[in-house]
Amino acid sequence: MAQALFHSDEEVWQQWNAKNTRYLGALQGPNGSFPGSRGESFNTAGALLSLALNYRFLPIYEK
């Protein structure tokens, strides 16, 4: 979802990203992982990919 919003509508992505960042900050465990039904490794990877858009590290995130 993060990538789709990022590429489609920047204003909507910025609003969603602010909410996502706050949500993940509240959800993150003391060891840095993110809990969820798919396991900490999978959920942490997904969370980090959604946050990586802010830094444009991966070529797929370029506009």
Pick the closest to residue 24 from 5, 43, 42 (CA basis).
43
Mean pLDDT confidence for 39-63? 83
Pick the closest to residue 3 from 55, 50, 45 (CA basis).
50
- 3-state DSSP call for residue 54? coil
Here the tokens at position 10 are 């920047």
pLDDT digits (tens, 9 = 90+) for 1-21: 888 888 888 899 899 999 999
Q: What is the pLDDT of residue 34?
A: 96
Higher pLDDT, 62 or 23: 23
Q: What is the pLDDT of residue 60?
A: 67
pLDDT digits (tens, 9 = 90+) for 18-40: 999 999 999 999 999 999 999 99
Q: What is the pLDDT of residue 52?
A: 86
